[in-house]
């Protein structure tokens, strides 16, 4: 059976960045730019007052000035500032000709409706002015290709008039739960039934990493129903099918995937939980779909998602394919391990002031015990073998 590392390498080979496309500004947050953004304007586009006050010429020493005009943000001055005169400007207003500084309104005294007294101390030239083009010039590259867009970057795109940008889009990920025993969350249970907990978990986990989830609901263990749902899911960039991938009589998923042209890359990985993980790729025309058959038990689904799907989604979005970071911690509770598969055991991690991690293994009843996982914020990576680990042992852990 494949090791986790070998299986990860196989997923990494297929998880290539999605082709870039034009994306509306409002949908571009956290996407990776696929073009350098060049400004269509000087910024600011005009010499602009940064204060509410009076536009003055600093070499003019007249103690009082005649106010010839008032310019608000969005307006334009119709006069120039001449010796003995001033123009009242509001923050954001274009500076009038003849002025080279702004005196704050709080530092002045209005003598009558059209006369203002200025402070004796002269203002410095340039004070209170954001000079045209002092941030950047028209034709300058303001955001480089490859940049992952943050909210402040969206502000800059808006400033330079870019309503659409060329970027690597968010991966579209279809989520399909399979199994006759499953009912949706709002329903009461008949004998033998359980609620579909995998779909809400995966949809939320996809939201956490900025992927777009396409929920396909529940398909019964019926070949034609499964086939129709899987066919729909293959239109996405990634299809996550949960359940039906182990060895049972109703484990139909791998066969149907193969029938629909998905090439199996691997089935089964030496890990606990998550052993029956299935991975394949369908190439059709220019469209590639990565397909993960996630084992049905919710903890197996989540661990497989964290280990395999999350790095694949990062790679599709243009980031490096990186495994969850392995950290070192020290056990503050003992634990035992049995069996030939490395186990990802739920734990509670606590970081001390010196950044060291204490690791408390949590009671856990296996891959269907999702309640135990709700109390965990990490997983201990326990190597294969039969052994006991005592308090104080150094272990490898991952954050959840
Ligand atoms: N003979 C073998 N039996 C099993 C093997 C094996 O290798 N040989 N592997 C076991 C392991 S490990 C796991 S994990 C499970 C995985 O099975 P499947 O992926 O085929 O999943 P199902 O059989 O459909 O379901 C397993 C379990 O999970 C529950 N489930 C399924 N979907 C959901 C959902 N959406 N929400 C909540 N719970 C779900 C389902 O009811 C089952 O109880 O196979 C072992 N067996
Ligand atoms: O690998 Mo299964 O996921 O142990 O329960």
Query: Which CATH number do you get for residue 155?
Result: 3.90.105.10
Q: Are residues 178 and 296 in the same domain?
A: yes
HSE-CB of 366 using CA atoms within 13 angstroms: 6
Mutational pocket test of ligand 1: of 202, 249, 291, 297, the residue with most ligand atoms within 8 Å of the beta carbon: 297
Which pairing describes strands 109-112 and 115-117: parallel, antiparallel, or unpaired?
Answer: antiparallel
CATH number at residue 112: 2.170.190.11
| Protein residues with CB under 6 Å of any ligand 2 atom | 272-275, 295, 297, 300, 367
Determine if ligand 1 sits within 6 Å of the CB of residue 243.
yes
Q: Are residues 384 and 355 in the same domain?
A: yes
Report the candidate in 316, 327, 335, 319 with the shortest Cα–Cα distance to residue 393.
335
Query: What total number of domains does the chain contain?
Result: 4
In a domain, 321, yes or no: no
Say how many Å lie between the CA of residue 68 and the centre of ligand 2: 81
Cα–Cα distance for residue pair 75/94, rounded to 1 Å: 7
Name which residue sits closest to atom 43 of ligand 1, judged by CA. Answer: 297
In a domain, 228, yes or no: yes
DSSP state at residue 163 = S
User: Which of ligand 1's atoms lies nearest the C-alpha of 246?
Assistant: 20
Name which residue sits closest to atom 2 of ligand 2, judged by CA. Answer: 273
Contact 189, 52 (CB under 8 A): no
Say how many Å lie between the CA of residue 322 and the centre of ligand 2: 23
User: Which of ligand 1's atoms lies nearest the C-alpha of 293?
Assistant: 19
Q: Which ligand is nearest to the CA of 243?
A: 1
Say how many Å lie between the CA of residue 244 and the centre of ligand 2: 13
Measured in degrees and rounded to the nearest 5, phi and psi for residue 89 equal: -125, 145
Determine if ligand 1 sits within 6 Å of the CB of residue 86.
no
Distance from the Cα of residue 96 to its chain's centroid = 45
Q: Are residues 104 and 155 in the same domain?
A: no
Q: Are residues 265 and 338 in the same domain?
A: no
Return the SS3 of 188: coil
CATH number at residue 281: 3.40.980.10
Largest CA distance in the chain: 97
**Residue where one domain finishes, among candidates 316, 338, 355:** 316
The sign of the torsion formed by the CA atoms of 327, 331, 333, 336 equals positive
The pLDDT score that the predictor gives to residue 251 is 83
In a domain, 290, yes or no: yes
Name which residue sits closest to atom 19 of ligand 1, judged by CA. Answer: 295
Q: Are residues 191 and 155 in the same domain?
A: no
> How many other C-beta atoms are found inside a 10 Å radius of the C-beta of residue 100?
19
Say how many Å lie between the CA of residue 254 and the centre of ligand 1: 14
Name which residue sits closest to atom 4 of ligand 2, judged by CA. Answer: 273
Q: Per residue of the chain (400 residues), what is the pLDDT tens digit?
A: 999 999 999 999 999 999 999 999 999 999 999 999 999 999 999 999 999 999 999 999 999 999 999 999 999 999 999 999 999 999 999 999 999 999 999 999 999 999 999 998 878 999 999 999 999 999 999 999 999 999 999 999 999 999 999 999 999 999 999 999 999 998 999 999 999 999 999 999 999 999 999 999 999 999 999 999 999 999 999 999 999 887 777 688 999 999 999 999 999 999 999 999 999 999 998 899 999 999 999 999 999 999 999 999 999 999 999 888 889 999 999 999 999 999 999 999 999 999 899 999 999 999 999 999 999 999 999 999 999 999 999 999 999 9
The pLDDT score that the predictor gives to residue 244 is 86
User: Which of ligand 2's atoms lies nearest the C-alpha of 304?
Assistant: 3
Q: Are residues 309 and 339 in the same domain?
A: no
Q: Are residues 177 and 271 in the same domain?
A: yes
The pLDDT score that the predictor gives to residue 326 is 85
For residue 278, the enclosing domain spans: 4-18+170-316
**Residue where one domain finishes, among candidates 316, 351, 382:** 316
Q: Are residues 31 and 164 in the same domain?
A: yes
Q: Are residues 304 and 191 in the same domain?
A: yes
**Residue where one domain finishes, among candidates 296, 316, 336:** 316
Say how many Å lie between the CA of residue 27 and the centre of ligand 2: 37
Q: Are residues 94 and 186 in the same domain?
A: no
Q: Are residues 13 and 62 in the same domain?
A: no
Q: Are residues 263 and 203 in the same domain?
A: yes
Mutational pocket test of ligand 1: of 246, 278, 299, the residue with most ligand atoms within 8 Å of the beta carbon: 246
CATH number at residue 370: 2.40.340.10
Instruction: Please list the residues that pair with 343 across neighbouring strands.
Output: 272, 382
Report the candidate in 363, 398, 356 with the shortest Cα–Cα distance to residue 380.
398
The pLDDT score that the predictor gives to residue 266 is 96
Say how many Å lie between the CA of residue 290 and the centre of ligand 2: 22
């Amino acid at each position: 059976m494949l090791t986790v590392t070998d299986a990860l390498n196989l997923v990494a080979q297929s998880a290539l960045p999605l082709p870039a496309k034009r994306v509306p500004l409002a949908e571009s947050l956290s996407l990776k730019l696929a073009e350098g953004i060049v400004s269509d304007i000087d910024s600011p586009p005009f010499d602009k007052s940064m204060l509410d006050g009076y536009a003055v010429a600093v070499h003019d020493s007249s103690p009082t000035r005649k106010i010839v005009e008032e310019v608000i943000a969005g307006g334009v001055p119709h006069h120039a500032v001449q010796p003995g005169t001033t123009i009242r400007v509001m923050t954001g207003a274009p500076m009038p000709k003849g002025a080279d500084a702004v005196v704050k309104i709080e530092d002045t005294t209005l003598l009558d409706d059209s006369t203002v007294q200025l402070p004796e101390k002269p203002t410095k030239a340039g004070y209170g002015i954001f000079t045209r083009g002092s941030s950047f010039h028209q034709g300058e590259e303001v955001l480089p290709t490859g940049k992952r867009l943050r909210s402040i970057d969206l502000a800059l795109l808006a400033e330079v008039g870019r309503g659409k940008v060329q970027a690597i889009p968010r991966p579209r990920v279809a989520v399909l739960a399979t199994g006759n025993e499953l009912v949706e969350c709002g329903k009461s249970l008949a004998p033998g039934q359980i609620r579909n907990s995998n779909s809400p978990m995966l949809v939320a986990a996809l939201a956490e990493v900025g992927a777009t989830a396409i929920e396909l609901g529940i398909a019964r263990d019926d070949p034609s129903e499964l086939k129709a749902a899987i066919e729909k899911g293959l239109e996405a960039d990634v299809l996550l099918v949960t359940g039906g991938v182990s060895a049972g009589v109703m484990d139909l998923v791998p066969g149907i995937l193969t029938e629909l042209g998905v090439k199996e890359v691997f089935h089964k990985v030496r890990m606990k939980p998550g052993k029956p993980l299935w991975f394949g790729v369908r190439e059709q025309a220019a469209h590639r779909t990565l397909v993960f058959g996630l084992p049905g038990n919710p903890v197996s689904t989540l661990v497989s998602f964290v280990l395999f799907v999350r790095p694949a989604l990062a790679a599709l979005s243009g980031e490096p394919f990186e495994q969850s970071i392995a950290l070192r911690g020290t056990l503050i509770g003992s634990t035992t391990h049995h069996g030939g598969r490395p186990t990802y055991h739920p734990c509670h991690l606590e970081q001390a002031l010196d950044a060291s991690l204490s690791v408390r293994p949590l009671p856990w009843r296996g891959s269907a015990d999702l309640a135990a996982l709700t109390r965990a914020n990490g997983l201990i990576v326990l190597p294969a073998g039969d052994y006991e680990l005592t308090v104080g042992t150094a272990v490898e852990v991952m954050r959840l």
